[in-house]
Amino acid sequence: MGDAVSRQEAGPRLIDWRASVSGGVLIALALVVAFLLDTPWDSVSTFRISRPRDVWAVGNLTVPSQWFNVAASVLLAFLGTRLFLKGGGRWTAVALGIGLVVLAMAFLVWATAGKAISLTGMLQATVVRAVPIALAALGGILCERVGVINIAIEGMLLAGAFAGAMFGSLMGGWAGIICAMITGGVFGLLLAALVITYRVDQIIAGVVINLFVLGLTSYVSSQVFAEYRWLNKASPFRSFKIPVLGDIPLIGPVLFNQNLFVYGALILVTLSTYYLFHTRHGLRARAVGEHPRAADTLGIDVIKTRYAHVIVAGMVAGFGGAWFTLGSVGRFDENMTFGRGFIGLAAMIFGRWHPLGALAAALIFGFADSLQQKLSILNTPIPSEFLSMAPYIATIVVVAGLVGQARPPAAIGKPYVKE
Amino acid sequence: MSGEARSSGPAMSPDMKALLVPAIDSRSSWRELFILPLAAMFLAMLIGALIMMATSVAPETILQSFIAMAHGSVGSIHAISETLTAAIPLVLAGLGIGLAFRAGLFNIGAEGQMVVGGLAAAIASFLVTGLSIWLHLPLVLLVGLAIGAVYAAIAGLLKAATGAHEVISTIMLNLISIRLLDYMLRQPFIQKEGRSDPISKAVLETAELPRILEFLDGNLRLHAGLFIMLAAVAVIYWLLFRSKLGFAFRISGENPGAARYAGIRAGLTIVMAMAIAGALAGLAGAIQVSGVLGRATPGFTAGIGFDAIAVALLGRSHPVGILLAGLLFGALEAGGRQMQVDAGVSIDMIGIMQALIIIFVAAPLLVRRIFPPLFRERPRGGEENG
């Protein structure tokens, strides 16, 4: 234990570096906003909020483009300089989060200068795109809180997407979701068996499961789906409006007129926050992740707790995976998750292993994702390939800026051997 | 194993050591080195057959597909040429991943490093003109090597400076490299004339790796990259086990605390290990472009960078082991193509089997439980009877 503390304290030199790097990034972004996102002083960006037929219609939001971007650049520069000179301390995550949001807004205002887009539509897309990332992050949190690294989240998402499409085509959407969750749970069980019982290196086990799922789903989709197309033709879940709440301007369409996956993700995040931090079992789970031997001494079954949580995490990821097929087009494509699981892990770190934090982080990534889509429609001079890199670059920045700032559960990555 | 490590005192990193044991068990026994991979392979083929059965492939087709695999990998001079050709990039990238492993780093970014290395090599191969093959070819390969090294060093620098886990940053760099490739292939000075899809111009003749079996048959694709691969195995062996830098790598991987006390600079070691790993992957990409493909296209790396992870794990991060594992995976690759043609079973089957082999190799406890006699009574023997 004393050793663990001393290792923690060996960190300050690194932490200075981290704050400087994050600060430097923010300052660089301020320069980007100031010099590259130039618009004429008299141009105005218009954001539509309501559609004409809405019950309570609200006027458009107009922003003077250049003024907004000057303000954004000043704010970024301020945050960056502060971080650079004084170090971030507890505020690095917040500063970085604000910085990324401001950057995204500046991009948006710049791209819409002289044009108009629907803000509601964009935020709606943000929430939709945040769903798989939030669920992946939630799966990661449930694993890591009990001390198991889950790199296999990506594979579990992919397996869920696959199972959702196949069983959804065979037996309908609900069965598809249930089968996706079961499939995710099976891979959770596999991961648990490998790392807990057979003590395989957790990262290797995760990477191998990812490779296995990628191989298996690609094999079946080229071997079977290519021939029997009806196996890969599920009808996706449509969005449904919650009465009254769905009519509130802006908030209504964004939060209360979505499909099952959005509601499911919000409920799961709430439930797991309550579970982890307000119930006895949640406390026990966290104890297993922090100090398994102490937990064992107190009579908590470390092995069983880990198995249970990794399997549940797999089910959550399976549900998130079903989003890719049953929540959008109903068809499975090879490797369609495209790194969302890893972005989810970054969101987990960003959110400091807390479900609500992870949800907030997922929303930022979702915003970047939907922004990229909007920007490519708005015909900006930036090539679409660079725009689609944005979430990945943001992930690197977040991981680099926050690792060590946000402390992972202490027992992470270590197999537990009962004495 | 980990109980042993645990009792070895609170010093620095029994945990880190325990974490790396499956990857770099340097004094593993003869059985671990040979029987385990064979048993793993047998199990992988068995499960592969079960999966084929589950997807309603007829039993005789399954048998036919295994025969096709054997035939397509070692059944003829053409098959052997294909196997070796497929093994070259796998071994090179695998050497890099294995070396990083030894230094305690998990480089999942070989795919991205191959992409940028191969792309840079392709660009150098048609933008630079008027050189003889003796100058142009080495230049092209060196460009690929250097760009791969720089790209991997980004992840190393981030890890050294901020502690960002290399697994996440290299995966993100992989995804970024794919977008970068798509973008670059559309640039007018790279894109092939008269094409609207992303495809590069052809590699000039002076930048092509010569085919070494052309005197036998013009269709044999095996190229001079074979010698580069063998040289790389020797160089990495020397680097890891005979040089000071390699010692620094290994001690950092096995015991970071001891490395710190020995005055080894952790940050520099991380960056160097990642850069060398990236150099090898970039070289693999350049060799693919210059020796096999003749141009860069979207997805030209075809997942070799990920398969190389499996090669490094199977080869236990030892250069010779990686060479053998790379040959095995090359054979699977070549055999898989034959299988697709002869038996109509999708080549993705090979991906499943590769992942399974690694699961079993990484979990010796599991294989021991499945085949207890192999690891206890009989000193030698085939696992086919198991």
Give the tens place of pLDDT for each residue, A19-29. Answer: 777 788 888 88
Please indicate, yes or no, whether residues A153 and A204 belong to a single structural domain of this protein. Answer: yes
> Cα(A314)–Cα(A182) distance, rounded to whole angstroms?
8
Q: Name residues of chain B where pLDDT drops below 70.
A: 1-33, 373-386
B168 contact A CB<8A: yes
C-alpha dist (Å) from residue B153 to A400, B159, B169, B273? 14, 10, 11, 8
Q: Region A259-265: what's the mean pLDDT?
A: 92
B157 contact A CB<8A: no
Q: Could you write out the DSSP letters of every residue in B176-207?
A: HHHHHHHHHTTSTTTBPTT--SS-BPPPPGGG
pLDDT of residue A397: 81
Write out the two tokens for B342.
């002869």
Binned at pLDDT 50, 70 and 90, residue A405 comes out as low
Q: Is B162 exposed, middle or buried (0-12, 13-18, 19+ CB in 10 A)?
A: buried
Write out the two tokens for B234.
């020797």
CATH code, A170: 1.10.3470
What does R_g of chain A's alpha carbons equal in angstroms?
22
Q: Tell me the CB-side half-sphere exposure of residue A144, using CA atoms within 13 A.
A: 27
Answer whether residue A98 is part of any domain: yes
A401 contact B CB<8A: yes
Please indicate, yes or no, whether residues A288 and A188 belong to a single structural domain of this protein. Answer: yes
Q: How many CB atoms lie within 10 A of CB B299?
A: 10
Please indicate, yes or no, whether residues A108 and A139 belong to a single structural domain of this protein. Answer: no
Please name the residues in contact with A99: beta carbons below 8 A apart, sequence gap of 6 or more: A25, A26, A29, A76, A79, A80
Handedness of CA B127, B129, B131, B134 (dihedral sign): positive
Please indicate, yes or no, whether residues A98 and A200 belong to a single structural domain of this protein. Answer: no
Please indicate, yes or no, whether residues A227 and A267 belong to a single structural domain of this protein. Answer: yes
Q: Does the distance separating the beta carbons of A395 and B3 come in below 8 Å?
A: no
DSSP, res A75 = H
Handedness of CA A416, B3, B7, B9 (dihedral sign): negative
Q: What is the mean pLDDT of chain A?
A: 85
Q: Region A106-122: what's the mean pLDDT?
A: 83
Residue that terminates a domain, selected from A90, A120, A150: A120
Q: How many CB atoms lie within 10 A of CB A47?
A: 19
Measured in residues, chain A has a length of 419
> Given B2, B12, B358, which is nearest A415 (Cβ)?
B2
What does R_g of chain B's alpha carbons equal in angstroms?
21
> Cα(A221)–Cα(A212) distance, rounded to whole angstroms?
14
Q: Does the distance separating the beta carbons of B164 and A201 come in below 8 Å?
A: no
pLDDT of residue B374: 64
Answer whether residue A51 is part of any domain: yes
> Cα(A159)–Cα(A165) distance, rounded to whole angstroms?
10
- Spatial contact of A120 and A250, defined as CB atoms under 8 Å apart: yes
Cβ-Cβ contacts under 8 Å between A and B: the total is 166
Location of structure tokens 């197999």? A415
Please indicate, yes or no, whether residues A3 and A91 belong to a single structural domain of this protein. Answer: yes
C-alpha dist (Å) from residue A223 to A233, A369, A398, B27, B345? 16, 32, 39, 42, 7
Answer whether residue A163 is part of any domain: yes
Please indicate, yes or no, whether residues A68 and A89 belong to a single structural domain of this protein. Answer: yes
> Cα(B39)–Cα(B31) distance, rounded to whole angstroms?
10
Q: Which of A53-57, A70-74, B274-278 has the highest mean pLDDT?
A: B274-278
What residues are paired with A61 via a beta bridge?
A47
Q: Which range is least confidently modeled, A8-17, A273-282, A347-356, B330-339?
A: A8-17
Q: What's phi and psi for B209, nearest 5 deg? A: -70, 125
User: Closest Cα of chain A to B236: distance in Å?
Assistant: 23
Name the residue with higher pLDDT: B139 or A367: B139
User: What amino acid occupies position A403?
Assistant: V
pLDDT of residue B29: 61
User: Looking at beta carbons, which residues of chain A come within 8 Å of B164?
Assistant: 396, 399-400, 403
C-alpha dist (Å) from residue B331 to A360, B71, B133, B353? 47, 10, 30, 13
- Strand A240-241 with A61-64, pairing: unpaired
Answer whether residue A410 is part of any domain: no
Please indicate, yes or no, whether residues A362 and A216 belong to a single structural domain of this protein. Answer: yes
Q: Region A193-221: what's the mean pLDDT?
A: 90
Chain A residue nearest residue B44, CA to CA = A212
Write out the two tokens for B191.
């894109």
Binned at pLDDT 50, 70 and 90, residue A44 comes out as confident
- Spatial contact of B140 and B126, defined as CB atoms under 8 Å apart: no
Location of structure tokens 């031997």? A293
Write out the two tokens for A67.
């003024």
User: What amino acid occupies position B135?
Assistant: L
B314 contact A CB<8A: no
Q: Which of A146-150, A227-231, A400-404, A406-410 has the highest mean pLDDT?
A: A146-150
Please indicate, yes or no, whether residues A92 and A235 belong to a single structural domain of this protein. Answer: no
pLDDT of residue B50: 93
A220 contact B CB<8A: yes
In this predicted structure, the answer to whether residue A89 has a pLDDT above a threshold of 70 is no
Q: In order of start, what are the domains of chain B with their CATH numbers?
A: 87-329 (1.10.3470)
Q: Does the distance separating the beta carbons of A223 and B345 come in below 8 Å?
A: yes
Answer whether residue A406 is part of any domain: no
Please indicate, yes or no, whether residues A239 and A257 belong to a single structural domain of this protein. Answer: yes
Q: Is A65 exposed, middle or buried (0-12, 13-18, 19+ CB in 10 A)?
A: buried
User: Looking at beta carbons, which residues of chain B come within 8 Å of A224?
Assistant: 55-56
B150 contact A CB<8A: no
Answer whether residue A296 is part of any domain: yes
What residues are paired with A45 via a beta bridge?
A63, A113
Answer whether residue A392 is part of any domain: no
Give the tens place of pLDDT for each residue, A161-203. Answer: 999 999 999 988 899 999 999 999 999 999 999 999 988 888 8
Please name the residues in contact with A337: beta carbons below 8 A apart, sequence gap of 6 or more: A132, A154, A157, A158, A161, A321, A324
Write out the two tokens for B23.
């990857």
- A46's enclosing H/E stretch is strand A44-48
- Spatial contact of A342 and B168, defined as CB atoms under 8 Å apart: yes
Residue-number span of the structural domain to which A212 is assigned: 129-386
Q: Does the distance separating the beta carbons of B356 and A212 come in below 8 Å?
A: yes
Chain A residue nearest residue B168, CA to CA = A342
> Cα(A185)–Cα(B57) distance, rounded to whole angstroms?
27
pLDDT of residue A310: 96
Residue that terminates a domain, selected from A73, A94, A120: A120
Handedness of CA A261, A263, A268, A273 (dihedral sign): positive
Answer whether residue A407 is part of any domain: no
Please indicate, yes or no, whether residues A71 and A147 belong to a single structural domain of this protein. Answer: no
Q: How many CB atoms lie within 10 A of CB B7?
A: 9
- Strand A44-48 with A61-64, pairing: antiparallel
> Cα(A362)–Cα(A350) distance, rounded to whole angstroms?
9
Residue that terminates a domain, selected from A94, A120, A146: A120
> Given A201, A345, A414, which is nearest B362 (Cβ)?
A201
- Spatial contact of A396 and B158, defined as CB atoms under 8 Å apart: yes
Q: Total structural domains in chain A?
A: 2
Please name the residues in contact with B364: beta carbons below 8 A apart, sequence gap of 6 or more: B22, B32, B36
Own/partner pairs for B67-70, CB < 8 Å, 24+ apart?
Answer: B67/B342, B68/B335, B68/B338, B68/B339, B68/B341, B68/B342, B68/B343, B69/B332, B69/B335, B69/B336, B69/B338, B69/B339, B70/B335
Residues 51-70 in B contacting A (C-alpha not used; CB under 8 Å): 51, 55-57
> Given B169, B179, B355, which is nearest A215 (Cβ)?
B355
User: Looking at beta carbons, which residues of chain B come within 8 Å of A2?
Assistant: 10
Please indicate, yes or no, whether residues A77 and A156 belong to a single structural domain of this protein. Answer: no
Q: Tell me the CB-side half-sphere exposure of residue A36, using CA atoms within 13 A.
A: 13
> Cα(B269)–Cα(B292) distance, rounded to whole angstroms?
34
A417 contact B CB<8A: yes
Q: Is A379 exposed, middle or buried (0-12, 13-18, 19+ CB in 10 A)?
A: exposed
pLDDT of residue B8: 39
- Spatial contact of A366 and A262, defined as CB atoms under 8 Å apart: no
> Given B164, B173, B183, which is nearest A403 (Cβ)?
B164
Provide the total of helices (H) and of strands (E) in chain A, helices listed first: 16, 5
Q: Which of A13, A231, A385 to mutate to test the interface with B (most CBs of B within 10 A)?
A: A385
> Cα(B148)–Cα(B284) distance, rounded to whole angstroms?
9
> Cα(B127)–Cα(B140) distance, rounded to whole angstroms?
10
Write out the two tokens for B37.
């991979």
- Spatial contact of A365 and A101, defined as CB atoms under 8 Å apart: no
